[in-house]
A and B are shown apart, each in its own frame.
Chain A
Amino acid sequence: DIQMTQSPSSLSASVGDRVTITCRASQGIRNDLGWYQHKPGKAPKRLIYAASSLQSGVPSRFSGSGSGTEFTLTISSLQPEDFATYYCLQHNSYPRTFGQGTTVEIK
């Protein structure tokens, strides 16, 4: 199985901050990676697909980069509605595997 190691597991940040979350795959996955935002009691929401493509309707402050084994989700200027848990997900092979999640909290 491909292990997805996400860091940090949590972070505290202020509105307006730049936030970066990293995901590392245990083996190369090309660009077969997505980023998801999940708020309590809500359905998860895809932000990024194919490592760097922005999902339609998602604000441009979200961006993704990387290929192979190292991937990054960046929020350029954190907004109040961005406080949530973020997950990476690889779909290069089975089983599909998520990172353990990064909770972004208000500082």
Chain B
Amino acid sequence: EVQLVESGGGLVQPGGSLRLSCAASGFTFSSYWMSWVRQAPGKGLEWVANINQDGSEKNYVDSVKGRFTISRDNAKNSLYLQMNSLRAEDTAVYYCTRGGGTFDIWGQGTMVTVSS
């Protein structure tokens, strides 16, 4: 079964850091672009970042540039999102998705809450 499972969310203080992980299974992970999409409480979906198959190309939405870093480990079939200098407005459910701009497989999401 094709599956994406996120982990690593939680409560963090403003200015803090968190690392999200996404474990992929059921498909050849190294053959696909991967992305992170988030949804803040009561808001719509927002694309955050993507990464190409070998990790040599990465793209970010402006609001997270310089603070978030997307990465992957193809040997471990895993995608990551390192989030630094977190702000209240980063509070959201973060989804791992397969694809660079059109997303056919989604994880269930992991909640990140930035609050003091």
Chain B residues with CB under 8 Å of A45's CB are 106
Within 8 A of B (CB), among A59-77: none
Bound Cα distance A96, B61 (Å): 8
With contacts A94-B59, A95-B59, A95-B61 taken as known, whether A44 is within 8 angstroms of B102 at the C-beta atoms is no
On whether the beta carbons of B45 and A98 are closer than 8 Å, the reply is: yes
Cβ of A82 under 8 Å from chain B: no
Nearest chain-A residue to B37 (Cβ)?
A44
Count A/B pairs, Cβ under 8 Å.
57
Bound Cα distance A34, B100 (Å): 12
Within 8 A of B (CB), among A66-102: 85, 87, 89-91, 94-101
- Residues of B bordering A, CB below 8 Å: 35, 37, 44-47, 50, 59-62, 95, 100-104, 106-109
CB-CB nearest 7 A-B residue pairs: A91-B101, A96-B47, A43-B106, A101-B44, A95-B61, A98-B45, A34-B102
- Residues of A bordering B, CB below 8 Å: 32, 34, 36, 38, 42-46, 49-50, 55, 85, 87, 89-91, 94-101
